[in-house]
Amino acid sequence: MKIILWGINHKTAPVEMRERLAIASSELPEVTRQLLQSPGTAECMVLSTCNRVEFVTCHEDHEPDVLTFLKQHFDVDADTLQPHLYIYREHEAIRHLFRVASSLDSMIVGEPQILGQVKESFAVARSVGAVQSSLDKLLRMTFVVAKKVRTETQIGSSSVSIASTAVELAKHIFGSLEGKQVLLVGAGKMSELAARHLSQQGTAPILVANRTFDRAVQMAQRHGGHPIRFEDLYAQADKADIIITSTGSSEPVFRREHAQKMLHKRRGRPIFFVDIAVPRDVDPAVNKLDGVFLYDIDDLQSVAAAHLATRSKEAEKAEGIVTEEVEHFLQTLRTLDVVPAIVAMQKSFENTRQSEGRRMQAKLQSLSTEQRTAVESLTRGLMNKYLHQTVQALKLAAREGDAATIRTICEMFDVEPGGSAATPPASSPDALEANHPSEPGGEDDQLEAAIAGISKTETQD
C-alpha cells in the first residue's frame, strides 16, 4: 500500500485561499466518504483546521487525482490552486504527518490543539469506514511520536495557542488591555482559550455572543462576563474596543455596513477586529473604513515568529525525534513485508518434517507415546534452529531495505518475497499511545506473534 498526502496550509496559501477549502466539522464525514469513493483511494483521512486542509490517502497502483477531486468538491480552478498545493509521498508523507501532529508545522510551534484535531479527524475517518490496516498503523504511530515529542522536549512548556496569540496581538496594539472592553463572538474552543487569557489582562468583564445563547451564558459565567444574544449582536457590538471572532459561519458575520453603524455610534473611537476564524468572520472590506483596524489569522504570524525563536532549541530536539521515528517506522514496515516469506519458509520446512515423519512411521511404531513426543520435539527444535539464522538475515535485510539479499534468500527457499503484512487489531487513538515499538508489545513483538500465530495455524492444518 502506498501513501500520499496533499493539501495547503498557512505557509503555502493565504487565508482567502484556505477558507475556500475549509471544511466544517459537520461536513467532514461526508467529504471523507466522497474521497474514499474517488478512483484509486483505498483508505483516507481529511484534516481541516484554521491553518490547513490536508488529505491523507492510501492506494495500490494508481494515485487519486488530487486536482480533479478538489475541483469537483470545492469548485477551485486547478491553475489557481496548484501554486499553493503540496504533495508528499511515502516517507515524506509520513514525516509530514508526524510533524503536524507534533505541532512542528503549526503557526504556533508547540500549540497543543493540533494533536486533538488529528485524533478527531482519525475518529471520523474510522467511523465512515475509511481506515483499514495501513492508515491505522500509520496514525497509531503518529500519536506515539507526538506524545514522545511532548514528553521528551519542552516544546509545549508554556500554553501558547492561536487564541493566546490573538490576545497578545491585542495587547501589542493597545500597550495594555487594562479596562478595555472585549467582545468574543463564538463560544467554541478558541474563544474559551481567549477568555482565559483575557481574564489575566485586567480587561473589563468580557462580552460573549453565540448563536446558541446557553453556551454564551455558560462561558460568560465561567469568566465573570456578560452574555449577548446573537440577534442583539449588532446592537451591542459598538460597546467593544476589541472584537475577537471565532465562529463556524460560512459567511461573514461582520460586513462593511455593520462596521459603519458601529463607528457612528462610537463617535470616532476606533474598533479593532481580531478575526481568527477560517472561513473569515469579518469581510476584508471593513478594513478600508477609517477608524476600523482588522487583523486576520495570517496577521498573527509575526507574533508567532517570536514564540518560535524562544522554542528553537526544543524544536530542533523534536525534529530529531521525528527523523528517528520516521526511519524506525519505515524499518518496521519493511520488516512486516517479509512476514509472508518467513511463514512460507516455515510451512515448507514443516511440511518436509511431517512428510519425513510419516515415511519413518513404521520404524517408530515400537516407541512409547513419551518417546514419540520426544522425537517430535527434537525434529521441530532442529527445524527452528536451522531456520533461525535465515529468518534473522531476512528481517535484517528488510530493515535495511536490502532487496537483493531478500530476493536471494527467497530464491534459495523457493518462496515469494512480497505479500501483505499481518496487521494487529485496531484500537482507540488514546489506548494506542502506550504501545511504542521500542517497548515490550511493540512492532517487533507483533512481528514475532504474527509469525508464530500463522505458523501454528499452518502446522495444525
CATH number at residue 52: 3.30.460.30
* Same domain membership, residue 267 and residue 173: yes
For residues 225, 226, 230, 234, the Cα torsion angle rounded to the nearest 10 degrees is -100
Residue 89 lies in a domain: yes
* Same domain membership, residue 301 and residue 180: yes
The pLDDT score that the predictor gives to residue 347 is 84
Span 266-296, pLDDT tens digits: 987 999 999 989 999 999 999 999 999 999 9
* Same domain membership, residue 152 and residue 54: yes
Please check whether residue 284 is in contact with residue 253, taking contact to mean a CB–CB distance below 8 angstroms: no
Reported as a pLDDT band with limits 50, 70 and 90, residue 88 is very high
Q: Which of 157, 187, 217 is the last residue of a domain?
A: 157
The CA distance from 57 to 42, in Å, is 7
Q: How far is CA 210 from the centre of its chain?
A: 29
The CA distance from 219 to 234, in Å, is 20
* Same domain membership, residue 78 and residue 103: yes
Domain hosting 235: range is 162-307
Reported as a pLDDT band with limits 50, 70 and 90, residue 62 is confident
The pLDDT score that the predictor gives to residue 160 is 67
Please check whether residue 101 is in contact with residue 115, taking contact to mean a CB–CB distance below 8 angstroms: yes
Reported as a pLDDT band with limits 50, 70 and 90, residue 348 is confident
Write out the three cell numbers for 359: 515415511
Reported as a pLDDT band with limits 50, 70 and 90, residue 307 is low
Q: Which of 253, 277, 307 is the last residue of a domain?
A: 307
Mean pLDDT of 8-26: 93
For 107-189, strand residue ranges (E) read 182-185
Question: Which of 187-196, 235-244, 325-334 is the most confident on average?
Answer: 235-244
Q: Which residue reads 503484512 in cell numbers?
A: 421
Respond yes or no: is residue 50 known to be catalytic: yes
Taking each continuous run of H as one helix and of E as one strand, the counts in the chain are 19, 10
Mean pLDDT of 35-53: 94
> Given a cut of 70, is residue 87 above it in pLDDT?
yes
* Same domain membership, residue 248 and residue 111: no
The pLDDT score that the predictor gives to residue 309 is 66
Span 102-111, pLDDT tens digits: 999 998 888 8
* Same domain membership, residue 173 and residue 152: no
* Same domain membership, residue 176 and residue 265: yes
* Same domain membership, residue 78 and residue 142: yes
**Sequence-separated contacts (24+) of 224-231 with Cβ below 8 Å:** 224/199, 225/195, 228/183
* Same domain membership, residue 63 and residue 134: yes
* Same domain membership, residue 199 and residue 101: no
Reported as a pLDDT band with limits 50, 70 and 90, residue 78 is confident
Residue 312 lies in a domain: no
Mean pLDDT of 78-90: 92
Number of domains in the chain: 3
- Active-site residue (options: 44, 50, 58, 410): 50
Residue 128 lies in a domain: yes
Q: Which of 212, 148, 158 is nearest to 185 (CA)?
A: 212
Please check whether residue 158 is in contact with residue 108, taking contact to mean a CB–CB distance below 8 angstroms: no
Residue 54 vs residue 445, higher pLDDT: 54
Residue 133 lies in a domain: yes
* Same domain membership, residue 228 and residue 180: yes
Residue 368 lies in a domain: yes
Span 351-395, pLDDT tens digits: 888 888 888 888 888 888 888 888 888 888 888 888 888 888 877
> Residue 271 belongs to a domain with what CATH number?
3.40.50.720
Please check whether residue 258 is in contact with residue 233, taking contact to mean a CB–CB distance below 8 angstroms: no
Residue 319 lies in a domain: no
* Same domain membership, residue 295 and residue 255: yes
Residue 318 lies in a domain: no
Kindly report whether the peptide bond that precedes residue 279 is cis, defined as omega within 30 degrees of 0: yes
Q: Which residues are paired to 87 by β-bridges?
A: 6
Residue 134 lies in a domain: yes
